[in-house]
Structure 1
């Protein structure tokens, strides 16, 4: 908690303590390139509750952020009580941990013909403002998200992912 007035517990783990693994792994953000892929993913993974991408799109629109960062996704996960992010790329899809951005499970997937940037959402015009130096639009969906996941050979500057 970001509250300095609350007491901070000072204890260490002991025998008999319970550990909760995969906390909130039944809720996931979904980053899909278009409505067709979004609908396929939601249908295939019916045991997961997907947070609608419009919620994340609205957050980005309010922040004038057309290029979401790992921190933006972490914030969206915290606001929506999600532990996972599902990211669909061309030829590969994966579940990613919200906190660490580690790839937990990847799948071979089909080719993508059409992209909606920065991802599928019904929120129109996620724009930037001139004073945000890091507010560039994404030009290449796959390259950008591979860069965020550190799965691209090119791990140089963020400009290389646009």
Structure 2
């Protein structure tokens, strides 16, 4: 028993040692259409994301999202996509491509997270284990779903929740493991062991109740199995978002 406890503590310490979501600032060294390269760094993790800042004459602005898709030969390869988290109808999206010399800020908003868990036990375990995060309470998402008459969140719902509340990471508490997922790309950043949940609440643990679907929404989804639903949601192909 003592050996098991010691092994678990060592495993946990190793996970914490590799668990670094600090902001990384660097510059674009080379661009190729929707791709670019920056100097590699141990703090740059595969599947992580950030933003590209472009300097104008008298100001600077976010012009794109950047995701780390590969690391090779001392370089990290980035893929660009539209940054729409701060989109406002009164302001147009920047119509400019990233270029050499633009600043890249990786792990953007990675100090802010939200937990999707099946029960209070799992929720509290994760929140209490990672004090380095500012946790936005999942009740906000629950209220959003009640307002929209939904009984199961889609990726688009979670992205909107993250954008509205400046959340960078979603932590999904599954069966004896937790997956740390980029809130926009839904790529898994880390996976760590957790205790087995004692119960299951759908669509997720929150203090919000009485979820009801819109009777006239024939495309509405329901959660049959909590774990299978969120494993599938995380694993969806990027073309089916």
TM-score range with shorter-chain normalisation?
Answer: 0.7 to 0.9
Q: Which residue of 2 aligns with 1:13?
A: 99
The CA RMSD measured in Å over matched residues stands at: 1.8
- Measure how far apart 1:111 and its partner are: 1.6
Q: Which residue of 1 aligns with 2:74?
A: none
Matched, 1:96 2:157: no
Matched, 1:115 2:200: yes
Verify the 8 A CA contact 1:84 1:97 in the aligned structure 2: yes
Give me the whole-angstrom Cα distance separating, in 1, the residues matched to 2:177 and 2:210. 27
1:31-66 deviations in Å (ceiling 9; x for gaps): 011111111111100110111010000001111111
Structure with more relative contact order (C-alpha pairs < 8 Å, separation 6 or more): 1
- Measure how far apart 1:149 and its partner are: 1.2
**Larger radius of gyration, structure 1 or 2?**
2
Give me the whole-angstrom Cα distance separating, in 1, the residues matched to 2:203 and 2:106. 31
Alpha-carbon distance change, 19 to 5 in structure 1, aligned in 2, over 3 angstroms: closer
Give me the whole-angstrom Cα distance separating, in 1, the residues matched to 2:106 and 2:99. 15
State TM-score, norm by structure 2. 0.58
SS at match of 2:178: strand
Higher strand share: 2
Verify the 8 A CA contact 2:119 2:198 in the aligned structure 1: no
Number of equivalences: 150
* Unmatched tracts of structure 2, length 5 or more: 1-86, 237-241
Aligned with residue 144 of structure 1, among 217, 229, 232? 229
Q: Which residue of 2 aligns with 1:158?
A: none
1:65-94 deviations in Å (ceiling 9; x for gaps): 111011110010001001110100012111
Matched, 1:39 2:124: yes
Q: Which runs of 4+ in 1 moved over 2 A?
A: 1-12, 134-137
